Amino acid sequence: MTRLKQRSIADEIQLENVIGRGKYGHIFLGYWRNEKVAVKVFREEEKASWEYEADVYKTVLLPHENILGYIASDISCSQMFLITEYYENGSLYDLLSNDIIETDQLQLLALSLMLGLSHLHKEIVGNPGKPGIAHRNIKSKNILVKNNTQCCLSDFGLAVKYHSNESGIQAKGDMQVGTARYMAPEILNKALNQEIFEEYKQADMYAVSLVLWEMAHRCRILNTDTKAIIFNDYALPYYDEVPEDPSIDVMRIAVCDQGLRPIISASWQENNILSTLSKVMEECWKPNPAARLTALRAKKTIQRLDGDLTDPSMEIV
**Cα–Cα distance measured from residue 67 to residue 72, given in angstroms and rounded to the nearest whole number:** 15
Strand partners, 73: 82
Can you give the C-alpha Rg of the chain in angstroms? Answer: 20
Measured CA to CA, the distance from residue 317 to residue 227 in angstroms comes to 36
Q: How many CB atoms lie within 10 A of CB 313?
A: 12
Q: Which residues pair with 18 in a beta bridge?
A: 28
Q: Answer whether 150's CB lies under 8 Å from 109's CB.
A: yes
Closest residue by Cα to residue 249 from 315, 197, 181, 298: 181
Nearest to 90 by CA among 82, 99, 81: 99
Distances (CA, A) of 142 to 3, 81, 171: 23, 18, 20
40 belongs to an annotated ligand binding site: yes
Q: What are phi and psi of 268, to 5 degrees?
A: -65, -25
What is d(CA 56, CA 160) in angstroms, rounded to the nearest whole number? 9
Residue 259 Cα distances to 214, 252, 254, 294, 298, angstroms = 19, 9, 6, 21, 23
At 132, give phi and psi (nearest 5°). Answer: -70, 140
For residues 175 and 93, give the distance between their C-alpha atoms in angstroms, rounded to a whole number. 25
Q: Assess contact for 278 and 263: CB atoms under 8 A.
A: no
- Give binding residues for ATP as ranges: 40
- Give binding residues as ranges: 40
